[in-house]
Amino acid sequence: MNKTFAAHLDNLYDMLLFVRSDAETLGFDEIEISKIELATEEALVNIISYGYPVTSGHIEVSCERIENNGFKVILKDNGVPFNPLSNSKRFDPEAPVEARAVGGYGVFFITKIMDEVIYDRVGESNILTMIKYPSAE
């Protein structure tokens, strides 16, 4: 299922509700849904804040069930090319506070919360794919 939203913070709640509804439909529990929402929110806020610095744009949000009862969230935008996974300012939670680079904390959360995170640049589009599998508990 997919839906396109204007890349604006006013639409953040609706985008997250769209993702939540699909995750609920697939039977994810509240803890896993909260993790999916947190990762998705961080990625969306980054796209909204930095993807369209000069013009307005859109974000296509897609959700689908995958093998092993997994849940895939795909965020596609035509903003500034940016691969968050190759960010040179990697967050190091073990580094002393004064030695930590500014930025990168959100990407760190996304990669720790989700089971798989993949970035592609296809034509003029940034495509961030995040996958979560149900916990084995």
Max CA-CA distance within the chain? 46
Which pLDDT band, with edges at 50, 70 and 90, does 34 fall under? very high
Give pLDDT tens digits for 46-91: 999 999 999 999 999 999 999 888 999 999 999 999 998 886 446 5
Burial class (CB in 10 A: 0-12, 13-18, 19+), 67: exposed
Whole-prediction pTM value?
A: 0.87
23's tokens: 């995750």
Amino acid sitting at position 106: G
Whether residue 93 has pLDDT greater than 60: no
Residue with more model confidence, 136 or 42: 42
Whether residue 33 has pLDDT greater than 50: yes
pLDDT of residue 81: 95
pLDDT of residue 97: 47
CATH superfamily of 2-132: Histidine kinase-like ATPase, C-terminal domain (3.30.565.10)
Q: Which of 118, 122, 50 is nearest to 86 (CA)?
A: 118
Whether residue 136 has pLDDT greater than 70: no
Consecutive H or E run containing 45:
helix 30-46
Residue with more model confidence, 65 or 136: 65
